[in-house]
Amino acid sequence: MAKEVIALIPARGNSKGIPGKNIREFAGKPLIAHSIGAARKARHIDRVVVSTESVDVARVARRYRAEVLDRPPGLSQDDTPIKWVIDHAMDVLSSKGRPARAIVVLYATAPLRTAEDIDRAVAMALRLQDYDSVAGVCAASVAPFGGLVIEKGRLSYLVPAARRMYQRQLAPPWFALNGAIWVLNPARMNRVNLSLLGKRSYGFVMPAERSIDIDTEHDWEMAEFLARRGWARRSRP
């Protein structure tokens, strides 16, 4: 049996920040439907699977033609590492005789990522072959050496070396994980940590406009504005 590239969309029903956000209407359809739609349009994706403990999320996922994998409630807590969720999904899928060539994790909270983004990230991973993970990243506006912390009301540098004060124009490029796309090598899952990073993890650079991860109402409004204007889809890395 040929190995498949499987898109895995983890979507809990008990979100705390924005209750029910994974199925709340976003730009005309449930939030999760945007990720399902992008995955279904991607040429490199063979199957789209939603991992959830929620009956409501499962119903919406099936409406938009995704497979549903029942996730145990114990793996649906606020502090459950995503790696455990992926390991569970891989165990279930492999037990059914459906080996994976790559697992592409797509969070429902990143609705602006496109099918083209997914295809490019998967193509990058398959070219590399000997990889642990390929992670979506975007240029960050504040580098670590520019970060500040407050201790007893006083400001201090997060990174002591920042006392040298880099000029912004001279600062090296710095990137942040955007959570939009993760491509994982099933054969090397034991080499990544709970944050899905290993010694052979690579960055897939995406524009900031498609890197919004919805966690707050402000994120929601910003992302929905970009979605309705179609501006995020026109931008390029």
The whole-chain average pLDDT of the chain stands at 89
Predicted structure pTM score: 0.89
Q: Is residue 67 pLDDT above 80, yes or no?
A: yes
CA dihedral 197, 184, 191, 86 (to 10 degrees): 90
Calpha distance 120→230 (Å, rounded): 20
Q: Give me the mean pLDDT over the 198-223 stretch.
A: 95
Calpha distance 8→99 (Å, rounded): 14
Q: What is the pLDDT of residue 188?
A: 94
CA-CA-CA-CA torsion sign (26, 224, 39, 79): negative
Q: What is the pLDDT of residue 159?
A: 74
Tokens of 118: 């997914």
Over the stretch 34-49, which tens digit does the pLDDT of each residue have? Answer: 999 999 999 999 999 9
Span between the terminal Cα atoms of the chain, in Å = 36
Over the stretch 103-112, which tens digit does the pLDDT of each residue have? Answer: 999 999 999 9
> Which stretch of 26-35, 128-137, 156-165 has the lowest confidence by average pLDDT?
156-165
Q: Give me the mean pLDDT over the 114-136 stretch.
A: 96
Q: What is the pLDDT of residue 231?
A: 62
Q: What is the pLDDT of residue 173?
A: 77
Q: Is residue 58 pLDDT above 60, yes or no?
A: yes
- If pLDDT is split at 50, 70 and 90, which confidence band does 3 have? confident
Cβ-count burial 77-99 (b if 16+ within 10 Å, e if not): eeebebbebbebbbeebeeeebe
